[in-house]
Amino acid sequence: MNEVQIFNHPQFGEIRTSGTPDNPEFCAMDLCSALGYSNGRKAVKDHCDEEDVTKRYTPTNGGMQELTYVNESGMYALILGSKLESAKKFKHWVTSEVLPSIRQSGTYSIEQLSRKQLAFMVIQAEEEKERLALENKQQAEQLEEQKPKVTFANAIIGSNTYIIIRDLAKMIQQNGYEIGEKRLYQWLRDNHYLTLDNKPMQRYVEQGLFFISEGTHSENGVMKTHLTTKVTPKGQQYFINKFIEQ
């Protein structure tokens, strides 16, 4: 049975097979599609051993293409790794209909897999569950750590308050980065957000990070105009994120 044989199922679609009756092979792309894997190549790499994987030229709508096939051991590894509830039904269909048809036999015996293969598949499934559990735990911990920062950033987005550089330094400190007003002014100048006289660069005003407020004060009885650099809510979020990422 080196030629490609196609099995159809109303729920799982087409499954292309090749190989021999004693060593049947299954098109990995078809298996992964039926078992709900979004990335078939990654699924085969994650779940199947190299010795269980082969390449075969297969006729397709686009002509002859080299496709990936897996043997029975690889097929069971993909079934065990699937998160679909229908994976059990898929396994039943393969073992009760597909394999007997390939072997031209009315029965299928799990004894055709070695004890070593079965033990390996069980261990692999357990390791996969442990890996997923660890990933979920790490993601949950990461989200928990970010929660105060996300809440704080959302509060800024909802605010219309323009603040001076001194207050921005305090907000950055509240987010875990130690910096004072003088150091923040120096950092803003060194990174070309401010000019040497602490006025914002025009491009950052146009981007909405800064606002220049105009005020008046009396000096020796003469009213004079002064300019104050202020940070917009957008600028507050931008600079807080800059320092959090450091």
CATH number, domain of 89, equals 3.10.260
Same domain, residue pair 84 and 169: no
Q: What are phi and psi of 175, to 5 degrees?
A: -95, 15
Residue 137 pLDDT > 90: no
- pLDDT tops 50 at residue 112: no
Of 55-64, 109-118, 122-131, give the lowest mean pLDDT range: 109-118
- Which of 19-23, 84-88, 138-142, 192-196 reaches the highest mean pLDDT? 192-196
59 lies in the same domain as 15: yes
Give pairs for 62-68: CB < 8 Å, separation 24+. 67/16, 67/27, 67/28, 67/29, 68/27, 68/28, 68/29, 68/40, 68/41, 68/44
If asked whether residues 79 and 121 sit together in one domain, one would say no
Residue with token string 């450091």: 246
d(CA 73, CA 121): 8
* Separation between Cα atoms, residue 77 and residue 99, nearest integer Å: 16
What total of structural domains would you count in the chain? 3
Q: 177 and 101: one domain?
A: no
Residue after which a domain boundary falls, among 44, 72, 107: 107
pLDDT band at 39, cuts 50/70/90?
very high
Query: What is the C-alpha to C-alpha distance for residues 209 and 162, in angstroms, rounded to an integer?
Result: 10
Is the same domain home to 126 and 100? no
Are residues 95 and 34 part of one domain? Answer: yes
| End residue of a domain, out of 90, 107, 124 | 107
Task: Report the pLDDT value the prediction gives residue 98, as an integer from 0 to 100.
Answer: 85
Question: Which range in 144-153, 159-168, 195-204 is most confidently predicted, on average pLDDT?
Answer: 195-204
Q: Identify the CA nearest to 245 among candidates 153, 161, 139.
A: 153
For residue range 72-110, what is the model confidence (pLDDT) as tens digits? 999 999 999 998 989 889 988 888 888 888 776 433 333
Residue 113's pLDDT band, with cuts at 50, 70 and 90, is very low
92 & 36 share domain: yes
pLDDT of residue 6: 85
Same domain, yes or no: 80 and 12: yes
- 190 in the same domain as 138: no
Whether residue 25 sits in one domain with residue 43: yes
Write out the residue range of the structural domain in which residue 132 sits. Answer: 114-158
* Cβ atoms < 10 Å from Cβ of 50: 9
Residue 42's pLDDT band (boundaries 50, 70, 90)? very high
Residues 130, 91 share a domain? no
Angle at 211 between CA 173 and CA 184, to 5 degrees: 30
β 63-70/13-19 pair status: unpaired
pTM exceeds 0.75 for this model? no
**Quick count: other Cβ atoms within 10 Å of Cβ 240?**
20
Q: Could you tell me if residue 193 is left (phi over 0), alpha (psi between -120 and 50 degrees) or otherwise beta?
A: alpha
Are residue 11 and residue 71 in the same domain, yes or no? yes
